[in-house]
Amino acid sequence: MVKKLSHVNQAGEAVMVDISGKGVTVREAVACGTVKMKPATLAQVKSNSLKKGDVLAVARVAGIMASKKVPEFIPLCHTIPLDSVTVDFDLSAKNGIRIKATARSTGRTGVEMEALTAVTVAALAIYDMCKAVEKGMTITDIYLETKTGGKSGTYKRT
């Protein structure tokens, strides 16, 4: 059975979903992604020795700022009052940085796009900050890890 698309009306036209009848619940989404780079580039990030400055601080702020602007990038997304957005980094791999963003809201619709956007823009900021030393970095594996709240309940990536 094919599920009906929520952003398309009966005439096949794109529409913004009406969330006015949905219940207000606490919603959370966690997204992840990776920026792959050479160990030498990662060493410079870790030692905060890149000429542009603190890569992770800039990427964290960029991700948070972007999460607040999702409806400006993705036309059918609702403006959501975000309660919290965090962007964290794991530098334990030898060839890259893993990014994890968590978005929370108490509202009528989910925050998956906000978490995914935070990861994506944080990754782009890392690329921008490091491109003078390495242009061959790869932004990869951006995905939704978990989401909770709302009518559809909990999702956990397997």
pLDDT of residue 125: 98
Which structural domain, as residue segments, surrounds residue 48? 25-149
Mean residue pLDDT across the chain: 94
**pLDDT band for position 3 (cuts 50, 70, 90):** low
Number of domains in the chain: 1
User: Is position 114 within any domain?
Assistant: yes
Q: How far is CA 151 from CA 19, 81, 107, 110, 142, in A?
A: 11, 18, 12, 10, 25
- pLDDT tens, 60-100? 999 999 999 999 999 999 999 999 999 999 999 999 999 99
User: Is position 154 within any domain?
Assistant: no
- What CATH number is associated with residue 135? 3.30.70.640
How far is residue 49's CA from residue 84's CA, in Å, rounded to a whole number?
Answer: 30
User: Is position 102 within any domain?
Assistant: yes
- pLDDT tens, 107-121? 999 999 999 999 999
Least confident of 2-11, 51-60, 75-84: 2-11
How far is residue 16's CA from residue 9's CA, in Å, rounded to a whole number?
Answer: 9
Predicted TM-score (pTM) of the model is 0.93
Catalogue the active-site residues.
128
